[in-house]
């Protein structure tokens, strides 16, 4: 340990965000200086920019088996979620004011719903089990006559659990209620098909599948009433004003195209590496358990709670060894609070503090995993030796 | 005319959007594949990304003589305007519900204010004179005890007029009311100093001064209560969640740094080209007049109404000659309506249809202007020969 240069650099925090693939950057490059027109302009410079974003719209639609005209580009997954929750709830407010979300949603869904609650909407937050799974029957029985929107995430970015969206979608559709899913963590990493999932709206973000930051999308089934978050120009059918971020949208489109081709090979490459972590870490360290579902989880995601440890100290020591990892959502990591996801799964606060989240990407290999498995145990030992909670536990254990 | 390849390509629509400068793209490039971390992450990859956006925050603050901690990055000027209008009005709603804007604001201000009006706020829209100028006394006398926010743009993108913001700011401040200015069209093109202008909040956008699309900012004086448009993570002090668009923010910062250095030389280069258009077009074409203020206008902006002409037809014929120009705001050009700005200035609908807007940039030169001055008159002639209004006018003129 110490300040020496680490032996290796291992980025296993892809879910926080990722590098763009070379082909994605290559696709973007002409749109900074050569094709720089405003897609709304009525001249050749505008025409080529507009054609570029319409091509990207087709590429994104193809990734989720939707229609291009149903894709609304946004600047982030958080914006797509806010637009879905606030825009759809306000758009349907004439029919009722009750909305349903799960307890483990990203804050861009959960807090958007809380904001609506303050504005007079009613909110039901459905619980999850110890694996982070939402029970479709729990959703069904929460639906009331005045329920206008249900939002349950496709996969949880903190614990990797994939929710039974198709089953939930069937029940929500039977009740005639709109169904949104935050598929930011899943889209581009596993197959996502809006028709098979039975959703009316779906959020995705390019920087979860080797696309650029600054480009994301809300897919929204045709003819659904949506109140925009912002007022202004006629971009995105008036549903999302502001000059289109052409290079980023082009990059998102290219990343979507590559994902359609490469999801199977990426899954095949990454799930054995994930499984090596899932098996290896509990073998190398005592008092550790996997969080999220053991099998129904993202192929690039392995998350744990390491007892008697404070997660941030662990991150810093891992960082000093060249390993980039996180203890929860990057969006809230600087808030240094125990994750609401782990708490909702019934994990006690002090154990939730020891959360550790590995998310893998195409640049990772087996040697990266070996390096993590070598470096993590002595760090955990070192931190436990300084932990009053561990000392107490060991004392009690010894009797 | 016809379909032959044009002799020259002349982009004089910089206000619709612009190419990034080579130095801006160069500054951005490392942030797609090398420095790709999430600025919120607690490891080295996150640290370098965070340092990059904090440097950009300083560069943007320096451009407007504000403090870095007062800069909130957004994805577009429209978003910055929406955040300012909705966020500040809702943040001060406890003190009153009256807001004031001018009649020539961009729709991201004007329509945001209309949305607030529907939600129970009261709105006063102050008029402009024939030059598009807001009268500071008109603003002052519109202020009521329950006025919480005044928003008047710094410069109008459609007619180039620069408003007397410092004078308005003084009066608004005397009344103890918050003052926002949409400085999207001006920032980076003329000196902008938030203290000299006497504003509390200011919107700017990188793609107006050779920065990238997808990065803009709201400068907001410290300790002002702002309700975010979006809920989610802790980014931008919780005021604008969503993973930061690091490359675009870095590009915005670089463009700001270059603007600080280059605004004087750009103004010196572009204002003679602008003046050549302002003198040349009325000499070459009958029944044409400058819109906006003759001298108090943006140095890169020349706008006209060409009577008896339909603007879109003119744009298409100019495009066939390789000239990119617009007839109004790019954000609404596809709506094909007469500009609310020109109407507010007292220009009749049928004349406002013949609006033509030249906005110049650093790549333009005198030969570009000569080309425009050569190509425009025959296009106007041709269109007038097909115009029933022109035939009627000529018949009446002949008696």
Q: What is the pLDDT of residue B1?
A: 43
Tell me if A213 and B245 make a contact (CB, 8 A cut-off): yes
CB distance from A382 to chain B under 8 Å?
no
CB within 8 Å of A15: residues ≥ 6 apart: A157, A185, A208, A300, A301, A326, A330, A357, A359
- CA–CA separation, A262 and A34 (whole Å): 29
Closest residue in chain B to residue A14, using alpha carbons only = B37
Q: What is the pLDDT of residue A311?
A: 87
Question: For chain A, which residues score pLDDT lower than 50?
Answer: 1-2
Q: What is the pLDDT of residues B1-41, one digit of tens each?
A: 445 789 999 999 999 999 999 999 999 999 999 999 999 99
Which residues numbered 39-58 in A keep a CB inside 8 Å of some CB on B?
A: 40-46
**Is the distance from CB of B66 to CB of B169 less than 8 angstroms?**
no
ipTM: 0.95
CB atoms within 10 A of CB B73: 26
3-state secondary structure chain B: CCCCCCCCCEECECCCCCCCCHHHHHHHCHHHHCCCCCCCCCCHHHHHHHHHHHHHHHHHHHHHCCCHHHEEEECCHHHHHHHHHHHHHHHCCCCCCEEEEECCCCHHHHHHHHHHHHCCCEEEEECCCCCCCCCHHHHHHHCCCCEEEEECCCECCCCCEECCHHHHHHHHHHCCCEEEEECCCCECCECCCHHHHCCCEEEEEHHHCCCCCCCEEEEECCCCCCCCCCCCCCHHHHCCCCCCCHHHHHHHHHHHHHHHHHHHHHHHHHHHHHHHHHHHHHHHCCCEEECCCCCCECCCEEEEEECCCCHHHHHHHHHHCCEECECCCHHHHHHCCCCHHHHHCCCCHHHHCCEEEEECCCCCCHHHHHHHHHHHHHHHHHHHHCCHHHHHHHHHHHC
Q: What is the pLDDT of residue B310?
A: 86
Q: Which residue has the tokens 């949603």?
A: A105
CB distance from B234 to chain A under 8 Å?
yes
The 3-state DSSP class for residue A266 equals helix
Residues of B in contact with A244 (CB under 8 A): 213
Q: What is the pLDDT of residues B322-339, one digit of tens each?
A: 999 998 876 666 666 789
Residues of B in contact with A87 (CB under 8 A): none
Which residues numbered 140-169 in A keep a CB inside 8 Å of some CB on B?
A: none
Tell me if B241 and A44 make a contact (CB, 8 A cut-off): no
User: What phi, psi does B8 have (nearest 5°)?
Assistant: -155, 155
Question: For chain B, which residues score pLDDT lower than 50?
Answer: 1-2
Q: What is the pLDDT of residue B151?
A: 98
Counting one residue from chain A and one from chain B, the pairs whose CB atoms sit within 8 A come to: 272
Beta strand A216-220 with A301-306 is unpaired
CB distance from B22 to chain A under 8 Å?
yes
CB distance from A241 to chain B under 8 Å?
yes
B235: closest CA of chain A, how far (Å) = 7
Q: What is the pLDDT of residue B338?
A: 85
Beta strand A323-324 with A301-306 is unpaired
CB distance from A267 to chain B under 8 Å?
no
CB distance from B213 to chain A under 8 Å?
yes
Tell me if B17 and A11 make a contact (CB, 8 A cut-off): no
CB atoms within 10 A of CB B35: 18
Q: What is the pLDDT of residue B153?
A: 98
Tell me if A32 and B20 make a contact (CB, 8 A cut-off): yes
B285: closest CA of chain A, how far (Å) = 22
Residues of A in contact with B329 (CB under 8 A): 233
Tell me if B38 and A17 make a contact (CB, 8 A cut-off): yes
CB distance from B364 to chain A under 8 Å?
no
Residues of A in contact with B44 (CB under 8 A): 319, 322, 324
CA distances (Å), A189 to each of A60, A271, A363, in order? Answer: 14, 11, 14
Closest residue to B19, CB basis, from A32, A79, A115 = A32
Tell me if B42 and A318 make a contact (CB, 8 A cut-off): no
Closest residue to B107, CB basis, from A112, A215, A233 = A233
CB distance from A115 to chain B under 8 Å?
yes
Closest residue in chain B to residue A22, using alpha carbons only = B33
Q: What is the pLDDT of residue A24?
A: 98
CA distances (Å), B316 to each of A47, A106, B324, in order? Answer: 12, 47, 9
Tell me if A19 and B32 make a contact (CB, 8 A cut-off): yes
Q: What is the pLDDT of residues B65-92, one digit of tens each?
A: 999 999 999 999 999 999 999 999 999 9
DSSP A42: S
CB distance from A329 to chain B under 8 Å?
yes
Q: Catalytic residue numbers of B? A: 331
CB distance from A326 to chain B under 8 Å?
yes
Tell me if A107 and B241 make a contact (CB, 8 A cut-off): yes
Tell me if A106 and B241 make a contact (CB, 8 A cut-off): no
Beta partners for residue A100, in sequence order: A124, A150
Q: Percentages helix, strand, coil for chain A, rounded to the nearest 5? A: 45, 15, 40
CB distance from B3 to chain A under 8 Å?
no
CB distance from B242 to chain A under 8 Å?
yes
Which letter, b or e, does each residue of A127-161 get, where b requires 16 or more Cβ atoms within 10 Å of its Cβ? ebeebbbbbbebbbeebeeebbbbbbbbbbbbbbb
A331 is catalytic: yes
* Structure token digits, residue A120: 């007079």
Reference B61, options B302, B296, B222, B273; nearest CA is B222
Reference B228, options A57, A283, A107, A98; nearest CA is A107
**Is the distance from CB of A154 to CB of A183 less than 8 angstroms?**
yes
Tell me if A330 and B40 make a contact (CB, 8 A cut-off): yes
**Is the distance from CB of A290 to CB of A302 less than 8 angstroms?**
yes
- Identify the residue among B36, B54, B119, B246 best suited for mutation to test binding to A, counting A beta carbons within 10 A and taking the highest: B36
Catalytic position from the list A331, A362, A373, A389:
A331
- CA–CA separation, B329 and A212 (whole Å): 28
Tell me if A232 and B43 make a contact (CB, 8 A cut-off): no
């Amino acid at each position: 340990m110490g300040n020496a240069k680490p032996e290796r650099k291992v980025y296993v925090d892809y879910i926080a965000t990722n590098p763009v693939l070379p082909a994605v950057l290559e696709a973007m490059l002409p749109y900074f200086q050569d094709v720089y027109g405003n897609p709304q302009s009525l001249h050749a410079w505008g025409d080529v920019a507009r054609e570029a974003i319409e091509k990207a719209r087709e590429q994104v639609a193809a990734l989720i088996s939707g229609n291009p005209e149903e894709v609304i580009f946004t600047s982030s997954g958080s914006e797509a979620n806010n637009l879905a929750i606030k825009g759809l709830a306000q758009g349907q407010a004439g029919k009722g004011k009750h909305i349903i979300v799960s307890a483990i949603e990203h804050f861009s869904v959960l807090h958007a719903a809380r904001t609506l609650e303050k504005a007079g909407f009613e909110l039901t937050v459905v619980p999850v089990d110890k694996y982070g799974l939402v029970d479709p029957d729990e959703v069904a029985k929460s639906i009331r006559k005045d329920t206008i929107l249900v939002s349950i995430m496709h996969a949880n970015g903190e614990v990797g659990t994939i929710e039974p969206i198709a089953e939930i979608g069937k029940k929500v559709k039977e009740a005639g209620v709109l169904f949104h899913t935050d598929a930011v963590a899943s889209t581009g990493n596993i197959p996502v098909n809006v028709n098979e999932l039975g959703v009316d709206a779906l959020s995705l973000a390019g920087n979860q599948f080797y696309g650029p930051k600054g480009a994301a999308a809300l897919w929204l089934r045709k003819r659904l009433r949506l109140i925009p978050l912002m007022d202004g120009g006629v971009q995105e059918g008036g549903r999302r004003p502001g000059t289109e971020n052409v290079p980023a949208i082009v990059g998102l489109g290219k990343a979507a195209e590559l994902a359609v081709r490469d999801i199977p090979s990426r899954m095949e490459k990454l799930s054995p590496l994930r499984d090596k972590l899932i098996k290896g870490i509990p073998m190398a360290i005592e008092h550790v358990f996997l969080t999220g579902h053991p099998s129904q989880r993202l192929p690039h995601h392995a998350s744990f709670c390491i007892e008697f440890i404070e997660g941030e100290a662990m991150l810093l020591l891992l960082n000093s060894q060249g390993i980039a990892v996180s203890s929860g959502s990057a969006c809230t990591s600087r808030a240094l609070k125990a994750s609401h996801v782990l708490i909702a799964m019934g994990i006690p606060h002090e154990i939730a503090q020891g959360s550790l989240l590995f998310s893998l990407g195409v640049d990772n290999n087996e040697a990266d995993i070996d390096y993590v498995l070598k470096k993590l145990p002595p760090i955990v030992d070192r931190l436990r030796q300084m932990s009053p909670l561990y000392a107490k536990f060991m004392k009690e254990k010894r009797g």
